[in-house]
Structure 1
């Protein structure tokens, strides 16, 4: 008899990873069902994955099959660094990092003191993530606790899981955007109590970066991490040469930028450092030793003119640094992880390095899940994982349809076209916990 706990059935060309690909053509790292079926339980987790011919009889009467034909069904994309209060500063002209913060970002983020504004933007933010196939994100709020409340409330109402936190800034920012070491600690503790582990939500202690936090505040951030095992930590590191020089001036006793954070206990397996472009050998060694994660944000690194991420240097076998991939909206210029991967490919080309399609897709799914310590929850199409899915249309645009005709039957080339030409139009549907949460409109 069919299992009556099955509540959803999704058919398509299923594609997932069980380990990192060793390079182009490594399909041994892939689980692929050309005509597959994924069955979802009442709790929103995957029950079974396999060929349509083998599992079709398991679909209970009354459960309609969502049939996506020739489209690819992958685990939902995971964005490991994005700024919720910056949705209206994306595509702001003509500044590098420190000027960009002063001229655009700090002005916009002050508006998130208003809970109504924060709630409206949280709805837009979640809509945009889902429209781009992103089902999990690591998110910076503003300095205001209410911004994080609005974000978590919206995510939880949709069945999505976020890792997010209130930015901590007690200096070098407008008065309306600063907290104190004490209030930042208190607000963070309150938010952890309200949200960390509630439903699918997780908290990230979030000192913006060393320039905007005093030693007292960085110590408070470290205290939150020590007192609440399992929470994440997110901040920025070594993005811009002027930024690095200012950190050196503000912390003359530190060996380097990474050491500023290290002295306060902010490195570790749940710590995510955005950018990591201009690291010394010693800094890479310490990130490796601590298990910290360097987050590659290619579109913002190019747009703000910060520099080129050096994946090979971070991947040295003697001291590999864990890495993740992210959009970094609003310095980044697209919510799409596909567009982000395309820009990552170009950045690495300029470094005389490479990013095969399989590696790119692994990075934005299982790879990012592993970077978050969540590979047992998300990032792959395996029983027990949340049924968070993205459905990609290989013929989403005229240019893609035209190009795909030349590679018919070659899956790896098809995937590379999707990675390099795809964007939000490629996303035919997005699922959260097996429920359709975004469906592309015909002709959109």
Structure 2
């Protein structure tokens, strides 16, 4: 520990001598990321007067299907993000070919019969290849609709089973089932529950300025962590390396010093800029919120630095190490959703993205700042931190043995 503290002090003295470099490291990421995030935000944020247009094809043409079509259309008319209108299958296909709509979905034939008989109901969706993001958002809406239909089907089937044991005629039973269907549909769709909860829970479009300002801050601290670690790189001759070994200095002790200094300086700058950020955004943030947010920032920074140090430990070429470290940081910043929201990624990667430590960290940061979340869960990042430090410790130990 004494040697680690010695190298930590020496690295801090080294930073003091590089004041011009420190100023450049502080300002350059802010300017670069500000321009980049502004460009991405302008491309991603949709115009308020151009909602997502979706066609609804009713192939069943029963009272139940027409009721759902009407309620969905009327509910969507009260939104400024999505527009649903009835159309035939041929018209919907032509509109997609002309790129006038994003998606169309259909209530298939025998929709009502399958609903009442307990058969699985499938709602086909046809997306516009040129608008994959809009199609994905519509899929979320249809998935929500399918869940409500499944719940309605379960209730109706229970009532139908009990009604069959009574002397009630089939017509009377079907009329009662229709009334139950109407009641349940009005309850779920008529109160705007479907649209309000499921259509566009996308902070990048609902709070674009706050989202991209916080994303820009997240990218900047990632660049600071990498930059400070690189600036503190040891440039030593073979004779100096031999002297270090003779004095009992290990590679791990020097890496630990670099990690501590990089983490301390980057966290200090991050804390100052974040405090200014919440003042600019006028976010109501209390001391306990700052503690929660700061802990997520430290865990993320520690895991990222361990990954950077692991690359440095395993590869001998400094140029290759620098290149891979930059790629490593870029990939995890991109996957986090800071540069491009994760909603806009291909569907293939949607199941894997939530397992990234950067995605978890930024997600909780967004919840704390933009959603006013008053609880947190550090389990995932704590496990990642433990795995990272063990992997780094083992790697440095092996490298130390091989160098002997």
TM-score of the superposition, structure 2-length normalised?
A: 0.22
Relative to its length, the structure with more helix (as a share) is 2
Higher RCO (C-alpha under 8 Å, 6+ residues apart):
1
Relative to its length, the structure with more strand (as a share) is 1
